[in-house]
């Protein structure tokens, strides 16, 4: 039977939404460890095994892939100490401390989110991806069309948070248009929260990660290629 969560897992998350404070969480930490952390680590391990076939450079120990339940509130107006979801992030090896392309999912009482792409990249990465998009927009659009049309996957564009005008250094009539103006690139799918309770949960995540792997390879290739001699085309990657 595949790794998955239980009704008790969801009960804990619903309680955390209502009582997001240490007074509620600390006495229930053993429940968190048993009903959320343990199955999450098992789930990541199962997904890791699947990803050896299509994204081996993104594999790490499950404890490093699982994201902390604790929020960083140092500079936040919202001082609630805990996240309302349990989540995991697969960064590419060597990009763990940057915002390169990767694979993500979270489970909350309301939904499961499976997402892949680049979110809020650093300045140099942002420029590299935009330049790559300007040169490879046709192939990129064709790749995205294939991902979005995949039957039964429910993948859609993430919010690109695009600029209203073209960034400095790009022509106003650049055919890449919204791809250059974007600040995020990727796809995601929303699944019902009940999906996390089924034995095939890891498979549902892994098959969407597999589908979006060419996208992640392209985005990371754009970032890494900015430091190498130019001339590597999208077609050479796929």
pLDDT tens string, the chain, 238 residues long: the values are 799 999 999 999 999 999 999 999 999 999 999 999 999 999 999 999 999 999 999 999 999 999 999 999 999 999 999 999 999 999 999 998 877 999 999 999 999 999 999 999 999 999 999 999 999 999 999 999 999 999 999 999 999 999 999 999 999 999 999 999 999 999 999 999 999 999 999 999 999 999 999 999 999 999 998 765 333 332 332 2
What digits encode the pLDDT tens for the residues 6-50? 999 999 999 999 999 999 999 999 999 999 999 999 999 999 999
Residue 62 pLDDT: 98
Which pair of structure tokens corresponds to residue 28? 């229930």
Helices (H), 58-122: 62-65
Other CB atoms within 10 A of residue 218 CB: 22
CA atoms within 13 A of residue 187's CA, in its CB half-sphere: 25
Full 3-state SS string of 105-154: EEECCCEEEEEEEEECCCHHHHHHHHHHHHHHHHHHHHHHHHHHCCCCCC
Q: Are 104 and 89 in contact (CB under 8 A)?
A: yes
Residue 98 pLDDT: 78
- Give φ, ψ of 203 to 5 degrees: -65, -40
**Angstrom distance (rounded) from CA 206 to CA 2:** 12
DSSP character at residue 28: G
**Alpha carbon distances (Å) from 106 to 68, 71, 77, 103:** 12, 15, 23, 11
Beta-bridge partner residues of 104: 89, 115
């Amino acid at each position: 039977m595949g790794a998955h969560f239980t009704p008790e897992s969801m009960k804990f998350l619903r309680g955390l939404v209502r009582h997001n404070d240490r007074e509620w969480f600390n006495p229930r930490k053993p429940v968190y460890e048993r009903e959320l952390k343990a199955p999450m680590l098992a789930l990541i391990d199962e997904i890791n095994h699947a990803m050896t076939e299509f994204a081996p450079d993104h594999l790490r120990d499950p404890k490093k892939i699982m994201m902390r339940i604790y929020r960083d509130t140092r500079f936040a107006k919202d001082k609630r100490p805990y996240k309302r979801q349990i989540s995991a992030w697969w960064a590419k090896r060597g990009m763990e401390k940057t915002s390169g392309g990767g694979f993500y999912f979270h489970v909350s009482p309301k939904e499961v989110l499976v997402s892949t792409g680049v979110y809020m990249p650093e300045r140099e990465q942002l420029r590299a991806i935009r330049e790559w998009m300007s040169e490879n927009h046709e192939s990129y659009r064709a790749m995205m069309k294939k991902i979005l049309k995949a039957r039964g996957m429910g993948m859609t564009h993430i919010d690109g948070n695009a600029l209203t005008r073209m960034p400095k250094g790009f022509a106003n009539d650049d055919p890449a248009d919204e791809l250059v103006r974007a600040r995020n690139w990727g796809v995601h799918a929303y699944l019902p929260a009940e999906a996390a309770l089924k034995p095939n949960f890891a498979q549902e995540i892994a098959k969407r990660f597999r589908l979006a792997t060419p996208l992640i390879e392209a985005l990371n290739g754009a970032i890494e290629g900015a430091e190498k001699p130019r001339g590597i085309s999208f077609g050479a990657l796929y």
